[in-house]
Amino acid sequence: MTASAGSITGRANLKKPVETLEQAIKLSPGDPAILDHLADVYLESGRTADAIKTYRKALELFEEEKDRNRVQEKIRILEEQGKR
């Protein structure tokens, strides 16, 4: 299997986790941890724009500075990668 075929297969395997986390957000829309995990899965499935948008929502909701700093760093890295 080629590397790109492996990536496509891996992304297809993320469909169920995305659906599950999207449902969890509907049940608990103010939970920043779920948003953070959903953004991680979006990123892994190649949905970078959705990941950044979702990280930003999580950032607004996280109260602890360590969590906010961690999410801000993820956003910074993705935005830097987008500029290349």
Q: How far apart are CA 45 and CA 16, in angstroms?
A: 11
Could you list the pLDDT tens digit for every one of the 84 residues in the chain? 334 434 444 566 889 999 999 999 999 999 999 999 999 999 999 999 999 999 999 999 999 999 999 999 999 999 999 877
Which one-letter DSSP state was computed for residue 46? Answer: T
Which pTM was predicted? Answer: 0.83
d(CA 80, CA 58): 19
Per-residue pLDDT, 11: 66
Q: Which 8-state DSSP code applies to residue 2?
A: -
> How crowded is residue 48: how many other Cβ atoms within 10 Å of its Cβ?
15
CATH number of 3-83: 1.25.40.10
Paired tokens of 50:
């959705």
